[in-house]
Structure 1
Amino acid sequence: MAGKWEWENATAGAVAGFATVAIMHPLDVIRTRFQVNDGRLSNLPSYKNTPHALFTIARYEAFTRLFLDHPFLGDFFFFFYSGAKKRYARDREDKLSPGLHLAAAAEAGALVSFCTNPVWLIKTRLQLQNPLHQTRQYSGVYDALKTILKEEGWTALYRGIWPSLFLVSHGAIQFTAYEELRKFLVDFKSDRAKNKGVEVLNSVDYTILGGSSKVAAILFTYPIQVVRSRLQQRPNTDGVPRYADSFHVVKDTARFEGVRGFYKGITANLLKNVPASAVTFVVYENVLKVFRLTKRKD
C-alpha cells in the first residue's frame, strides 16, 4: 500500500495550485511591489493602498499585466508532504503527532525551496517590471532566465535562498495548524453525528480550516517574505544588487522604515492568500474525495 496515494496527492495539489493562481494572481503582483518599495530612490511606482495599486497598474500598464508573467509550477508541496507523512507513520491508519506534522511540513518546504527558488526569483522580477525601468525589460520567462545567466551567473538564481529556507516555517505552521484543527473538527462533528464512519467535513469546513491556518502562518512569517523579495530584485543599472545579503536587508529596513517596513503589502497578501488557501484546500480535499470514490467503485 506504500506510495498508493502519491500521484493522487500530486494531482490534487497541482489542480488546487492552478485554481489558486488563476483567481488570486493580481494581488500577488501588488503584494510584491509593495514589499520591495523601501521609500528611497527606486524605479518602482508608489501606491497609496491596494485598491490604488490595482487601479494604477490596470490603467497605465494594461490590465493583462496583473495576470501575465507567472511561470506555472505544479504544487510539489502536497506531493512531498504526503510522502513525508507516510514515512513518519508506522502504517496508513496511524495518526501523526503535531511534532511529526511539523517535521513533515518542514521537510517538504525545504525540498520545494531548493527546487523552486529560481522560479520565484524570475517571477518576482517579472512582477516588478514597469514603465519606469531603466534597463531592457525581460520579454518573458525564457528571456529572463537567459539574461540572468548571461549577466549575473547561475548563482543569481539562488538569491534569497536563505530566507526561502526560513520560510519553511510558513508551511510548517500552516499545515500543522490545519491538521490539528481538522482533527479536532472531525472528532467534534463525528461525536455529534454519532457515526465515525461517515465523511463529516464539507467544503465550508475546509474553507474555514484553510483560511484560519493561513492567517496564523502569514502573521508569523511575513517579514521573511519581505526580505526575500528585496533580495530578489533586479540589480541596478550598474549591475550591483540593491542589497548584499539578508542581514543588509534587515538592517536597512529596520533603520529607515521601522517595524512597518517588514509588513509592507500585508493587506494584499492577506487578501490574496487567505482566500487562496481556502480555495486550495477545498479543491485539494474534494479532488481526493473523487479519487477515493473512484477507488471504491473499482
Structure 2
Amino acid sequence: MSEGVAQLKHEGSQRQVAVAGAIAGLVSRFVIAPLDVIKIRLQLQIHSLSDPLSHSSINGPVYKGTLGTLKHILREEGLTGLWKGNIPAEAMYLAYGSAQFSAYTYISHLLETIPPPYALPNAAVSFVSGAAAGAAATTATYPLDLLRTRFAAQGTDRVYTSLLESIRHIAKHEGATGFFRGWGAGISQIVPYMGLFFASYETLKPVMANSPLPLAFGTSDAAAGVLASVLSKSAVYPLDTIRKRLQVQGPMRSRYVHRNIPMYTGVVSTLSHIWKHEGRRGMYRGLTVSLLKAAPASAVTVWTYERVMGGLLALDEKLAE
C-alpha cells in the first residue's frame, strides 16, 4: 500500500475522523454556496436558450450561463440570494462530512482485513469504500439535501417562510417519502461518484506529493482533490440533474423561480423526458458551474480535513507528553 493511501485511511481515531470530516464539510459548504445556488437554478431551467419561442411565455427568469445567472440573482435578489438554502446545506455538509469520512475509514479497515488470496487491490478498496461511504452519508442526510435544493430554487416569491415551516409543510402534504424525492437518482449518482473520487484521489495524492514541482502548504492534497472531483463529477452529472428535478416535485412545484418545471414520476421517466425534450445539452445543463463548484469544494474539503486531522494528532501527542 502506498504511503498516501495509508495516511488517509489509518491516521486518527474514529472520533478524530468524524470531527475533521465535519469541519471540512462546514468550511467547504460556506465557500461554494453561491456556485451551488447558480448550479441548481441552471439545472431546473428546462427551456432552450437558442430558441426564443421556447421561453417567450415563461413567467420566470431565463438564465444565460454562469455569469449571467450570477448577475441576475444579484440584481433581483441581492447578495443574500446566493446563500439561499445555506442553513440546511450547512447542516447537511456537517453531518455528511462526518459520516462520509467515518464510514470510509471504517469500511477500508474491514476490507483490508480480508486475507490473501482474496484481498482486494488498493484501488478496489478505495472505490468500494468510497462508494459505500457515499451511499451511507447520502441516505442519512438526504432530507437536508432536498430542503437545500428547494430553498435554492426559490426566487423573490418565497415558497417556504422558514426551515421549520418547510419541514411541516412537506410532512403534511407529501408525507415521509416527500423528504426522499429523487433518492434513487441520488444513490445512483453518489455510488459511482464517490467510488471514482476516492479511487482517483488516493491514486493522485502521492503523485502530486512527489511532483517535480513541489506544491507548498499541503496544496498537493487540494490539487489531487480538484482533479479527482472533475473526473468523477463529469462522469455522473446527468444523474445529478435528474435528482434536482425530482427534488422540487410536489404541490409547490409551480411556485419556484422556474414556473414551468414538468411533473416527473421517477428516475427513468425523468431521464426519458429530458432526453426527448431537451436533448444531451439538457442532461448537462449547469455542468460548467458544477465543475467550478466541485473542484474548489473537493479541494477545500480534503485540504481542511488533512489540516484539521494533523492538528488533532499533534494535540494528542502534546497531551500525551
TM over 0.5: yes
Of the candidates 252, 257, 260, which is equivalent to residue 273 of structure 2?
Answer: 252
Question: Structure 1 regions of 5+ residues with no counterpart?
Answer: 193-199
Contact persistence 2:111–2:120 (CA under 8 A)? no
The correspondence for 2:164, drawn from 128, 142, 153, is 142
Of the candidates 174, 179, 192, which is equivalent to residue 202 of structure 2? Answer: 179
**Cα RMSD over matched residues?**
2.6
Of residues 114, 117, 123, the one that matches 1:98 is: 123
**C-alpha separation in 2, matches of 1:154 and 1:216:** 35
Query: How far apart are the structure 2 equivalents of 1:238 and 1:261?
Result: 19
Which residue identity does 2:145 align to in structure 1?
W
Alignment of 1:259-270 (within 5 A): 259-270=280-291
Gaps of 5+ in 2: 1-9, 48-53, 255-260
Residue 205 of structure 1 and its aligned partner are, at CA, apart by 0.6
Instruction: Pick one of 82, 99, 112 that aligns with 1:66.
Output: 82
1:88 aligned residue: 111
Matched, 1:124 2:149: yes
Offset of 1:185 from its aligned partner? 4.5
Matched length:
282
Partner Cα distance (1:209, 1:182) in 2: 5
Alignment partners' CA distance in 1, 2:82 and 2:262:
26
Whether the 8 Å CA contact 1:33–1:44 is kept in 2: the answer is no
2: CA distance between counterparts of 1:34 and 1:151?
27
Deviation at 1:226, TM superposition (A): 0.2
Q: In the superposition, relative to structure 1, how do residues 158 and 241 fare at CA in structure 2: closer, same or farther (>3 Å)?
A: farther
Q: How far apart, in 2, do the equivalents of 1:296 and 1:29 lie?
A: 42
Aligned to 1:258, what secondary structure does the other structure show?
A: helix
**Greater mean deviation of Cα atoms: 68-77 or 229-238:** 229-238
TM-score (norm 2): 0.81
Q: CA deviation at 1:292?
A: 2.2
Equivalent position SS for 2:63: coil
The answer to whether 1:288 aligns with 2:278 is no
Distance 1:87 1:233, change over 3 A: same
> How many angstroms does 1:51 deviate by?
1.1
Distance 2:79 2:253 in 1: 31
- Tell me, in whole angstroms, the C-alpha distance in 1 between the residues paired with 2:193 and 2:59: 30
Q: Which moved more, 1:144-153 or 1:230-239?
A: 230-239
Kept in 2, the 8 Å contact 1:222–1:266? The answer is: yes
Do 2:25 and 2:301's aligned partners in 1 also have CA atoms closer than 8 Å? yes
Among candidates 33, 51, 54, match of residue 41 of structure 2: 33
State the partner residue of 2:237: 222
Q: Offset of 1:182 from its aligned partner?
A: 2.0
> What do the CA deviations read for 1:247-276 (whole angstroms, capped 9, x no partner)?
111111111111111110111111111011
Q: 1:77 aligned to 2:92?
A: no
Matched, 1:205 2:220: yes
Q: SS of 2:250's equivalent? A: coil
Give the TM-score normalised by structure 1: 0.86
User: Residues 109 and 43 (structure 1 numbering): CA distance in 2 closer, same or farther, change over 3 Å?
Assistant: farther
Q: Note closer, same or farther for the CA distance 1:44–1:149 as it changes in structure 2 (3 Å cut).
A: farther
Task: Assess, with a 3 A threshold, how the Cα gap between structure 1 residues 79 and 44 changes in structure 2: closer, same or farther.
Answer: farther
Corresponding residue for residue 110 of structure 1: 135
8 Å CA contact 2:127, 2:198 repeated in 1: yes
